[in-house]
Each structure stands twice: as C-alpha cells, then as structure tokens.
Amino acid sequence: MMQRNASKRPISFTDFEHGDDCPCCTHQHRRTFIKTLAVASAGILLPSEWVKAASSRERLIKMHNPHTGENLRTVFWTPDYGYIQPSMNQINTFFRDFRQNKVVPIDIDLLNILHYVQSNIGQSRTLELHSGYRSPATNNMLASRSNNVGKKSYHMRAQAADISVKGIGSRELKSIAKRLNAGGIGLYRGSSFIHVDSGPVREWYY
C-alpha cells in the first residue's frame, strides 16, 4: 500500500449548519464541516461554490445498493428545516450492514462529502453504494478474505463508503472527490469503485 497526504495546506473548519437538534449533534459531539478553497478544473464544482449552494438550497442524495437492490432518493437537508430526521433515518437504513441487518447513524460529514460528489456528477446519475456501515463481525469476515480491508476500518464507525458511478471511471471519480480536500480517498486498481471517508485527509492506492 502506498499512502501520502493529499495536501500539506491546512484545512479551514467552520460551523456548517449544525445545531442542538441536528442528528450529529444529538448523537455525537458538536461537529463542524469543511469550507475550503481549491484550484478550479474544467467541469468540476469548486468546494467554495458548493458550500455556498449547499448552504442555501436543499441537499439531495441519489443512490443504489447493488447488494440489496434498494434505491435511495431523498432530500436530507433544507435551509428552512436543517437536517430532516425521517430522511436521515432512511439513509441510515440504506447504509446498514445488510449482512447483520444492523443500523447505526451515518456520519454527517460523510454524507456531505457524498453530496459534493453528487453535485458534480448531476442528479440524473446515481451513486452506487458497494459498502457502507460494517459491523465488527462483517469487517473481520471481509478482512479475512482480502488484504484491502482495514482491521480498523472507518466503515465500522459509519464514516466510510465505497462508491462507483456508471459511466465514470474510478480515477475520474477520485479526482472529483479529491477536490474537496476532505477525508480519505482510496483507489483500487482494476476496480470501478473508490473509497471515501470523513477521517483525516489522506490518499492511498491498492
């Protein structure tokens, strides 16, 4: 495994529409999300532009789980209501460990990272979720089968997702996610999907 920092430039963190009644602040400690600038590339939404839009418009996520056959299309945040609990419950169920049928709250920062990707691929395209939350039992089982599965995976913290998009290669998808300069990004050679998580900024290849 080769690992390197995605950027040495410090990230700027500020409050990102969180309050006492939002799911992440209710279930965890008060969280913040990323507002950062990046150099624009053709066709890619600047993180600063996305933050501005995401702060004033509804946030929609559109996903498909090829393991369960389930589809998800929901608005999870609006300027008037903030994070919408019924939508968050739906997302938590969609991201569940389907092998153990275990549901836990999905990290808000991960969801916003996925929304940034969704904003760049467009609402007509669907994010394929290959792996969301994993219970320790499931993660241990997968780790026993593959060296690509971390024993302390962020999937077990509900802070990671393995995603792909039909018609978009993994390298192109990685370049989109990397623009946000947030969390971890893993690229698996020969695979159509990438790993994204809301942990420290880092990057690796298998």
The predicted-structure confidence for 130-145, as pLDDT tens digits, reads as follows 999 999 999 988 888 8
Q: Across the chain, what does the average pLDDT equal? A: 81
Higher-confidence residue: 112 or 149? 112
Q: Can you give the pTM of this predicted structure?
A: 0.78
| Cα dihedral 42→43→46→51 (10° resolution) | 170
Residue 35, pLDDT score: 37
Query: Can you list the alpha helix ranges (DSSP code H) found in 132-192?
Result: 136-145, 170-178
Looking up tokens 């498909």 gives 64
Domain boundaries, the chain: 2-205
Q: What is the mean pLDDT of residues 68-78?
A: 96
CATH 3.30.1380.10 fits 2-205, yes or no: yes
pLDDT at 113 over 80: yes
> Please, are residues 88 and 76 in contact by the beta-carbon 8 Å criterion?
yes
Q: Which of 33-42, 84-93, 137-146 has the highest mean pLDDT?
A: 84-93
Q: What is the mean pLDDT of residues 86-91?
A: 96
Instruction: For residue 183, give the nearest of 26, 59, 20, 33 by alpha carbon.
Output: 33
Q: How far apart, in Å, do the first and last CA atoms of the chain sit?
A: 6
Q: What is the mean pLDDT of residues 90-103?
A: 97
pLDDT band at 44 (very low <50, low <70, confident <90, very high): low
**Alpha-carbon span 14 to 17, nearest angstrom:** 10
Each residue of 158-186: pLDDT tens digit? 999 999 999 999 999 999 999 999 999 99
**Alpha-carbon span 164 to 70, nearest angstrom:** 15
